[in-house]
């Protein structure tokens, strides 16, 4: 069978559908011109390469000749990769949530020839079943309605389009304050699961933004409940089936409340955000499991997701050998074959393995005879039950894990989506830079530098901006606000890790570009796209699995304001807080990612400056001590005779501090004055809320 038009695309997801009998077309003007010329409605399908249910719908419907014939006859069919075009996905996912109070992928939408939706759903089976109208029947109905009652369809589409325009408009108001932080915390407590951690019964997502907010709230208020919620959740995630105990890394989410059964996709952004949460939790608690987990996340990303150029691929699939999770599941007989009877019994007990299997089929709830590895408790808690030291049990597990990993590597690996996305790479670079600083791992900082260099040099658009996607040597798709926001975050984290002012200068340069391209001059905040070229120009505040560009930009602006002491950035941050203030006050817990920035604004961290002739061992020792402390709002400048001019270009005020001593430490106090202090006093000022658990 001849391929369809998707064969010329670069998106791995679109290429997966290039040999479907459906006459798929990419999202472009030619597809809309074809719909207009033929007066046909559009069938829009949005998904991504590692999506399990996208694969199911492809096999069920899009590879079926009869279904394809109906789609080709009645519609112009457009396929979109939601990761390549998050702007398109945002519009039609919002429509889905408006109409159905829920969303997900694959996203299925029927549009008028000018792109206005009139029917939106998620996964639809080919044949009707269990009260759900099948895609075949639905398409026949819409074909008839389009022929006989088109006016009703277009009227409905106009009404939905009007609703979409309102959906991306937010209520202005006074800036969120300490009372807003309290309200967000109290709402999160109400939704918290005190037994298994997390914030919903099922499915359970990592919701890292909530965890980062709670740690900041703990630091600001001393409320131990906030930290307890984080600790329980991170422990449960790390011991659950959502964590890959053999090869490391987090799966996308758990379908059950106990974190046992995951959706097996592994997304780059989940690794980056989870690493940030575990790093900060280690700073707050010094629990070794948390720093270990962050290190293991980095080990997975660097070994399995990193490209030769130093950037990171997007994801690994949920499926292999046409079965979800096949790569990750184990039969008890495999343990009995690989290990001695005593060793097999140990791990069967630790992981709760059984012959019937603890993994159930999501669609039908049937036991499969296979097991997902899930620890009944962390190894340090299990050691006493097994009558051995934590060190001995950990050593035995690492030996067993390597055996299991070698066996698993012989299986058919899940598909890896090898497109490189600027925004997700920005997140991973930020996490690596933070990890290198906090854990004193210079190679992680070097990896972050290489990733950022790739983004700037290989994904630059030739006009000082960014492209969004890179694949097989080609950068394409005009950059979105998210790409700029997360690259700026990575640059700020690299500055904090290296205290090299070049990164601060670059961060400010990209912030200028972001304001120029995406700022809403009428209402404030950042649009997702640089141009208004759709049925609506999205502006996103709610973050979901990934922080929104507006939330990330708000925190970036606050950090830049303190780092450079340029009043423009504080002014822009204030305008953002006012632009979204009314919406945030109505439901602050909904915007936990933005509330982390609010905490940054309400509870300023310690600011300081080191002055010295060179980067001496005494300076290195002081920085190592400071980096281990949980102080997310802190700002540090290091002035040496070598970097004085560059630092002055980033933060002009530092010119007033001459380099005259081997080490001089100053703190910027609440009185607005710089006070000379000893290094010990500085560490104490940073360390006012860390606890040992």
Prediction pTM value: 0.96
Q: Do residues 452 and 420 lie in contact, with contact meaning Cβ atoms separated by under 8 Å?
A: no
Distance CA 197, CA 199 (A): 7
Helix (H) or strand (E) holding 47: strand 42-47
CA dist., res. 21 & res. 17, Å (int)? 9
Res. 689 pLDDT band, cuts 50 70 90: very low
Mean of the pLDDT values across residues 473-481?
97
Predicted local confidence at residue 660, as pLDDT: 77
Q: Per the omega criterion (within 30 degrees of 0), is the bond before 171 cis?
A: no
- Please name the residues in contact with 410: beta carbons below 8 A apart, sequence gap of 6 or more: none
Taking only the tens place, the pLDDT of each residue in 77-127 is: 999 999 999 999 999 999 999 999 889 999 999 999 999 999 999 999 999
Structure tokens at 455: 């983004």
3-state DSSP assignment of residue 165:
helix
Token match 């097999």: residue?
Answer: 344
* Angle at alpha carbon of residue 137, lines to 136 and 141, rounded to 5°: 120
CB count within 10 Å of CB 590 equals 16
* 149 token code pair: 């009652």
pLDDT the model gives residue 690: 43
Backbone angles phi, psi at 46, to 5 degrees: -120, 130
pLDDT-derived band of residue 312, with 50, 70 and 90 as boundaries? Answer: very high
Q: According to the model, what pLDDT value does residue 364 have?
A: 57
DSSP 8-state assignment for residue 588? G
Token couple for 181: 């932080």
Least confident of 352-361, 483-492, 568-577: 352-361
> What is the C-alpha to C-alpha distance for residues 561 and 114, in angstroms, rounded to an integer?
43
Q: Are the C-beta atoms of 184 and 192 separated by less than 8 Å?
A: no
Q: Is the peptide bond before 55 cis (omega within 30 degrees of 0)?
A: no
pLDDT, tens digit, 9 for 90 and up, residues 528-579: 999 988 899 999 999 889 999 999 999 999 999 999 999 999 999 999 999 9
Distance CA 33, CA 205 (A): 40
Q: For residue range 150-208, list pLDDT tens digits in order.
A: 999 999 999 999 999 999 999 999 999 999 999 999 999 999 999 999 998 889 999 99
Nearest CA-CA partner of 83 in 179, 2, 16: 16
DSSP bridge pairs for 259: none
Higher-confidence residue of 415 and 681: namely: 415
Distances (CA, A) of 86 to 105, 368, 386, 591: 13, 36, 49, 19
Dihedral of alpha carbons 122, 124, 130, 132, sign: positive
- Nearest CA to 354 out of 341, 368, 364, 342 is that of 368
Task: Name the percent of the chain in helix, strand, coil, to the closest 5.
Answer: 50, 10, 35
Sort strands 76-81 and 42-47 into parallel, antiparallel or unpaired: parallel
* 8 Å CB contact between 43 and 31: no
> pLDDT (tens digit, 9 = 90+) per residue, 197-255?
999 888 999 999 999 999 999 999 999 999 999 999 999 999 999 999 999 999 999 99
pLDDT in tens, 640-658: 999 999 999 999 999 988 8
pLDDT band at 679 (very low <50, low <70, confident <90, very high): confident
Q: What's the pLDDT score for residue 367?
A: 76
* Cis peptide leading into residue 576 (ω within 30°): no
| φ/ψ (deg, to 5) at 202 | -175, 145
pLDDT tens, position by position, 380-402 = 889 988 999 999 999 999 999 99
For CA atoms 673, 677, 681, 684, the dihedral sign is positive
Domains along the sequence of the chain with CATH: 5-167 (3.40.30.10), 178-325+417-602 (1.50.10.10), 332-410 (no CATH), 607-686 (3.40.30)
Task: Give the long-range contacts of residues 657-660, CB within 8 A, separation 24 or more.
Answer: 657/609, 657/611, 658/611, 659/611, 659/612, 659/613, 660/611
Nearest to 20, CA basis, from 1, 48, 47, 42? 1
Three-state secondary structure call for residue 658 = coil
Contact 494, 488 (CB under 8 A): no
**pLDDT interval class at 687 (50, 70, 90):** low
Tokens (6 digits) for 301: 């990303």
Check residue 676 and give its pLDDT. 85
Instruction: Tell me the average pLDDT across 281-286.
Output: 96
Query: 């080490």: which residue's tokens?
Result: 663
In angstroms, the CA 96 to CA 111 distance is 12
Under a CB-based contact definition with an 8 Å cutoff, are residues 21 and 57 in contact?
no
- pLDDT over threshold 90, residue 335: yes
Is residue 364 within 8 A of residue 324, CB to CB? The reply is: no
Rounded CA gap, 352 and 340, in Å?
17
Mean pLDDT, residues 662-686: 80
Q: Write the CB contacts of 555 (distance below 8 Å, at least 6 apart in sequence).
A: 489, 596, 597, 600
DSSP one-letter string for 432-500? HHHHHHHTT-HHHHHHHHHHHHHHHHHSB-SSS-BEEEEETTEEEEEPPHHHHHHHHHHHHHHHHHH--
As given in the structure block, the two tokens for residue 628 are 């281990």
The Cα 135–Cα 57 span in angstroms is 10
Mean pLDDT of the chain: 94
Contact criterion met (CB below 8 Å) for 518 and 481: yes
Distance CA 337, CA 335 (A): 5
The pLDDT of residue 688 is 53
Pick the closest to residue 547 from 595, 504, 515 (CA basis): 595
Is residue 638 within 8 A of residue 610, CB to CB? The reply is yes
Q: How confident is the model at residue 363 (pLDDT cuts 50, 70, 90)?
A: low
Residue with tokens 């800036």: 175
| Cα–Cα distance measured from residue 450 to residue 311, given in angstroms and rounded to the nearest whole number | 7
Residues 309 and 457: beta-carbon distance below 8 Å: no
DSSP lists the bridge partners of residue 607 as: 635, 668
């Amino acid at each position: 069978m001849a391929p369809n038009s998707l064969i010329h695309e670069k998106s791995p997801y679109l290429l997966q559908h290039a040999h479907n009998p459906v006459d798929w077309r990419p999202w472009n003007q030619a597809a809309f011109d074809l719909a207009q010329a033929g007066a046909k409605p559009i069938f829009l399908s949005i998904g991504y390469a590692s999506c399990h249910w996208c694969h199911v719908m492809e096999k069920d419907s899009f590879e079926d000749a009869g279904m394809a014939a109906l789609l080709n006859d009645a519609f112009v069919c457009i396929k979109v990769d939601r990761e390549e075009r998050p702007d398109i996905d945002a519009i039609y996912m919002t429509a889905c949530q408006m109409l159905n109070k829920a969303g997900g992928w694959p996203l299925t939408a029927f549009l008028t020839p000018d792109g206005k939706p009139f029917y939106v759903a998620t996964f639809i089976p080919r044949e009707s079943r269990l009260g759900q109208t099948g895609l075949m029947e639905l398409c026949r109905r819409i074909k008839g309605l389009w022929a006989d009652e088109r006016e009703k369809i277009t009227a409905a589409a106009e009404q939905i389009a009007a609703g979409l325009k309102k959906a991306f408009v937010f209520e202005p108001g006074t800036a969120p304050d300490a009372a807003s932080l309290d309200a967000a915390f109290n709402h999160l407590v109400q939704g918290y699961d005190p037994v298994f951690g997390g914030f919903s019964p099922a499915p359970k997502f990592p919701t890292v933004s909530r965890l980062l907010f709670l740690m900041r709230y703990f630091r600001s208020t001393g409320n131990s409940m906030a930290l307890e919620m984080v600790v329980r959740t991170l422990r449960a995630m790390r011991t659950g089936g959502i964590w890959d105990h053999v090869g490391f890394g987090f799966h996308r989410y758990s379908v059950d409340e106990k974190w046992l059964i995951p959706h097996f996709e592994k997304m780059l952004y989940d690794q980056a955000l989870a690493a940030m949460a575990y790093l900060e939790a280690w700073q707050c608690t010094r629990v070794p499991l948390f720093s270990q987990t962050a290190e293991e996340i980095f080990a997975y990303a660097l070994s399995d997701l990193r490209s030769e150029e130093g950037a990171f691929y997007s994801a690994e699939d949920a499926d292999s050998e046409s079965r979800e999770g096949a790569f990750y599941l184990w039969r008890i007989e495999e343990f009995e074959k690989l290990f001695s009877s005593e060793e097999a019994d140990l791990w069967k007990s630790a992981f709760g393995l059984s012959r019937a299997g603890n993994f159930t089929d999501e669609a039908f709830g049937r036991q499969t005879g296979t097991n997902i590895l899930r620890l009944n408790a962390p190894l340090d808690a299990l050691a006493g039950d097994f009558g051995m030291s934590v060190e001995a049990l950990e050593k035995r597990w690492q030996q067993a894990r390597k055996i299991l990993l070698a066996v698993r590597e012989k299986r058919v690996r899940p598909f890896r989506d090898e497109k490189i996305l600027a925004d997700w790479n920005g997140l991973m670079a930020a996490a690596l830079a933070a990890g290198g600083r906090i854990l004193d791992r210079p190679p992680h900082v070097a990896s972050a530098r290489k990733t950022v260099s790739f983004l700037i040099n290989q994904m630059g658009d030739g006009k000082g901006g960014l492209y969004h996607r890179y694949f097989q040597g080609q950068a394409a798709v005009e950059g979105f606000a998210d790409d700029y926001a997360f690259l700026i975050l990575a640059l700020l984290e690299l500055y904090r890790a290296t205290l090299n002012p070049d990164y601060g200068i670059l961060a400010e340069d990209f912030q200028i570009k972001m304001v120029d391209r995406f700022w809403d001059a009428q209402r404030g905040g950042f649009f997702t796209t640089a141009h208004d070229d759709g049925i609506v120009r999205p502006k996103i505040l709610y973050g979901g699995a990934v922080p929104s560009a507006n939330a990330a930009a708000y925190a970036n602006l606050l950090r830049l304001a303190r780092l450079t002491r340029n009043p423009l950035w504080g002014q822009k941050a204030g305008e953002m807080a006012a632009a979204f203030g009314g919406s945030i006050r109505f439901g602050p817990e909904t915007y936990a990612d933005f509330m982390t920035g609010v905490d940054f604004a309400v509870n300023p961290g310690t600011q300081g400056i080191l002055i010295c002739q060179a980067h001496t061992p005494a300076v290195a020792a002081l920085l190592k001590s400071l980096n281990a402390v949980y102080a997310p709002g802190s700002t540090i400048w290091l002035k040496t005779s070598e970097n004085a001019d560059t630092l002055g270009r980033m933060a002009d005020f530092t010119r007033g501090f001459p380099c005259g001593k081997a080490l001089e430490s100053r703190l910027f106090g609440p009185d607005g004055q710089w006070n000379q202090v000893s290094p010990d006093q500085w560490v104490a000022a940073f360390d006012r809320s860390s606890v040992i658990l």
